[in-house]
Amino acid sequence: MYLTKQEEQMLAGECGESVQLAMEILTGVGDIYEAEEMTKIASAHTVMTPYRDIMDAGVE
């Protein structure tokens, strides 16, 4: 997946651990779907119940 310089910095942990974890999850999902690049999103509503239920087992 192509990442911009900013996205690479985020994935490398230069913006903090929580941003790095989010990028690891997002790039992992991107790999599963063979995404070519990230999509810019201005706003979103997410339901965190699935992550709360599976916790870290879902990201390993």
Host domain of residue 26: 5-59
pLDDT at 58 over 60: no
This prediction has a pTM of 0.70
pLDDT in tens, 12-34: 999 999 999 999 999 999 999 99
In angstroms, the Cα distances linking 36 to 27, 53, 54 are 10, 29, 27
pLDDT value of position 25 = 94
Per-residue pLDDT, averaged over 31-48, amounts to 90
Mean pLDDT, the chain, as a whole number? 87
Work out how many domains the chain is built from and give that number: 1
pLDDT value of position 9 = 99
